[in-house]
């Protein structure tokens, strides 16, 4: 029996219509759909694919909310082993992931492990959340010779980001958004910032002027700061 293949599939930022044709096909053809589960964001990945998951066996892959690397490693090892067992049965597994699988996804840790165990695994690109946010704001992420710097929630040092001559995307959760607002105000950059929370999903909120956002809300927010002209 041939071994199955693991596909790490980006399902896009939220709107089910932003799935790619390839993602839709692979989901229809999948024997098992693996669903990451670490909180509100991941249930969303399952919501996005909606009816494409109907009648398919789901493999729920829980990862704990911890920064303890040893705990995370053990957890990822376990998920990779579970997936390998399914691949050994000749079944294909589609692991769904919000946005794009190469951009801050948990999937990449599973991908490396499954490859290391000697199985085939492929990455299938999706639309990253920051592209959807720019579209929602009706603006470009970058034009002409502008550079674009993406800064994740977990990056601590903001100072060298704010010094760089580039458009900036901050991916931030919950309260840290207020701190970012303060830092941008100090630097006189706040007037050039916009924000979208839960883009394309339930509870979407859009601030063309980030400075008008008073109450941090939403599980996940993206702030775009354009260069001064």
Instruction: Provide the minimum distance between the beta carbon of 121 and its own copies in the complex, in angstroms, as a whole number.
Output: 8
Task: Name the helix (H) or strand (E) containing 193.
Answer: strand 193-197
The smaller minimum CB distance to its own copies, of residues 22 and 91, is found at 22
Judge whether 60 and 96 are in contact, CB under 8 Å.
no
Instruction: Provide the minimum distance between the beta carbon of 212 and its own copies in the complex, in angstroms, as a whole number.
Output: 22
The smaller minimum CB distance to its own copies, of residues 109 and 219, is found at 109
**Interface ranges with its own copies (CB under 8 A):** 10, 12-13, 15-22, 24-25, 100-105, 108-109, 111, 115, 122-128, 131-132, 134-135, 138-152, 154-156, 160-161, 164-166
The smaller minimum CB distance to its own copies, of residues 89 and 187, is found at 187
Structure tokens at 228: 């001064």
Structure tokens at 202: 């339930």
Reference 174, options 62, 46, 35, 65; nearest CA is: 65
Structure tokens at 124: 């299938």
Instruction: Provide the minimum distance between the beta carbon of 166 and its own copies in the complex, in angstroms, as a whole number.
Output: 7
The smaller minimum CB distance to its own copies, of residues 214 and 229, is found at 229
Instruction: Provide the minimum distance between the beta carbon of 9 and its own copies in the complex, in angstroms, as a whole number.
Output: 10
62 beta partners: 37
The smaller minimum CB distance to its own copies, of residues 180 and 217, is found at 180
Within 13 Å of residue 87, how many CA atoms lie on the same side as its CB? 22
Place of tokens 């002027």: 209
Judge whether 42 and 103 are in contact, CB under 8 Å.
no
Instruction: Provide the minimum distance between the beta carbon of 1 and its own copies in the complex, in angstroms, as a whole number.
Output: 25
């Amino acid at each position: 029996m041939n071994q199955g293949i693991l596909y790490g599939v980006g399902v896009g930022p939220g709107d089910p219509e932003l799935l790619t044709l390839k993602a839709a096909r692979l989901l229809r053809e999948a024997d098992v759909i693996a669903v990451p589960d670490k909180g509100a964001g991941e249930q969303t990945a399952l919501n996005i694919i909606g009816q494409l998951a109907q009648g398919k066996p789901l493999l729920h892959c829980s990862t704990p909310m911890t920064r303890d690397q040893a705990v995370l490693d053990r957890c990822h090892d376990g998920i990779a082993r579970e997936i390998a067992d399914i691949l050994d049965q000749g079944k294909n597994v589609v692991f769904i992931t919000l946005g794009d699988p190469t951009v801050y996804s948990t999937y990449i840790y599973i991908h490396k492990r499954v490859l290391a165990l000697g199985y085939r695994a492929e990455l299938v690109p999706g639309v990253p959340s920051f592209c959807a946010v720019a579209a929602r704001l009706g603006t470009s992420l970058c034009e002409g010779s502008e550079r674009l710097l993406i800064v994740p929630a977990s990056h601590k040092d903001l100072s060298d980001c704010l010094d760089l001559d580039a458009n900036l995307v901050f991916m931030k959760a919950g309260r840290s958004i207020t701190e970012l607002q303060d830092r941008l105000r100090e630097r006189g950059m706040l007037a050039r910032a916009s924000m979208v929370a839960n883009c394309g999903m339930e509870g979407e909120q859009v601030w063309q002027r980030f400075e008008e956002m008073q109450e941090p809300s939403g599980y996940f927010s993206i702030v775009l700061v354009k260069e001064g002209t």
